[in-house]
């Protein structure tokens, strides 16, 4: 029995509770291997846009994980009121035109406290469309304005099921209000999705996008 295990064993009460002397926090010199403390999320890659027309992830989406998450940090449009959008590809990025059926709703609150609400946005949903899906709408291009959030895509490598996704982003809008946008749906294809592209509905953008795999 090792010293650490013996120390713990000698300090367990009859009721199964550890005494305070069971652990020493002054040193870990007796520990040679630490267990994997991963929370199940692995960073695969990241890309930074700098006045870029689009960002495409053409590697990293495969059968390694059953779910993938994109995280968006300060995606800032160069055109005022642009929408942040995405599309999927089944041919490694040659075409971004997966047919999608989606839903979209939003909550918002103005800085002046004179406007707020919860609403379904019919113009931002798709019905068997190959167009780009809105993730965050009407983002301001002021120096301090951007959108942030995440997009999850589930089992993109499946050749049996359609490709479900859920997006949640918050944007600082051109009309000086905060908008929390929720999108969801599925890419109506049983082919493996192996690339994803992000772009604004108009003009270029700045920002960083991270791709994570989820166990």
Q: Are residues 151 and 200 in the same domain?
A: yes
Q: Which residue is it, tokens 């301001």?
A: 140
Q: Are residues 90 and 158 in the same domain?
A: yes
> Region 179-188: what's the mean pLDDT?
98
Q: Are residues 93 and 114 in the same domain?
A: yes
Q: Are residues 24 and 45 in the same domain?
A: no
Q: What is the DSSP string of 64-125?
A: T-SEEEEEEEEEEESSTTEEEEEEEESSTTS-----EEEEEEEEEEETTSS-EEEEE-GGG-
**What's the pLDDT at 2?**
60
Q: Are residues 100 and 29 in the same domain?
A: no
**What's the pLDDT at 42?**
97
Compute CA distances 101 → 89, 90, 104, 169, 173, whole Å. 15, 16, 11, 19, 26
21 pLDDT exceeds 90? no
Q: Are residues 151 and 202 in the same domain?
A: yes
> What is the model's pTM?
0.82
pLDDT tens-place string over residues 111-160: 999 999 999 999 999 999 999 999 999 999 999 999 999 999 999 999 99
**What's the pLDDT at 174?**
86
Q: Are residues 55 and 26 in the same domain?
A: no
Q: Are residues 146 and 178 in the same domain?
A: yes
What is the number of structural domains in the chain? 2
Tokens for 180? 């929390």
Task: For 123, list phi and psi in degrees, rounded to 5.
Answer: -65, -15
Q: Pick from 15-19, 38-42, 87-91 the range whose average pLDDT is largest.
A: 87-91
Indicate which CATH number applies to the domain containing 191. Answer: 2.60.120
Q: Are residues 68 and 151 in the same domain?
A: yes
Range of the domain at 135: 41-214
3-state secondary structure of 32: coil
pLDDT tens-place string over residues 40-76: 899 999 999 999 999 999 999 999 999 999 999 999 9
């Amino acid at each position: 029995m090792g010293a650490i295990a013996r120390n713990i064993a000698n300090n367990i009460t009859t009721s199964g509770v550890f005494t305070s002397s069971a652990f020493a926090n002054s040193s870990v010199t007796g520990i040679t291997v630490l267990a994997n403390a991963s929370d199940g999320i692995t960073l695969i890659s990241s890309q930074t846009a700098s006045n870029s027309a689009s960002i495409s992830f053409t590697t990293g989406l495969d059968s390694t994980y059953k779910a993938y998450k994109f995280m968006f940090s300060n995606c800032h449009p160069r055109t005022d009121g642009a929408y942040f959008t995405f599309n999927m590809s089944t041919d490694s990025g040659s075409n971004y035109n997966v047919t999608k059926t989606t839903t979209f709703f939003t909550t918002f609150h103005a800085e002046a406290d004179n406007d707020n609400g919860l609403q379904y946005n019919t113009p931002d949903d798709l019905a068997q469309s190959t167009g780009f899906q809105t993730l965050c709408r009407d983002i301001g291009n002021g120096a301090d304005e951007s959108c942030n959030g995440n997009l999850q895509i589930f089992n993109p490598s499946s050749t049996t099921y359609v490709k479900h996704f859920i997006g949640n982003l918050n944007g600082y809008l051109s009309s000086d209000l905060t908008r929390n946008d929720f999108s969801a749906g599925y890419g109506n294809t049983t082919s493996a999705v192996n690339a994803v592209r992000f772009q604004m509905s108009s003009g270029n953008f700045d920002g960083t996008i991270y791709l994570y795999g989820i166990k």
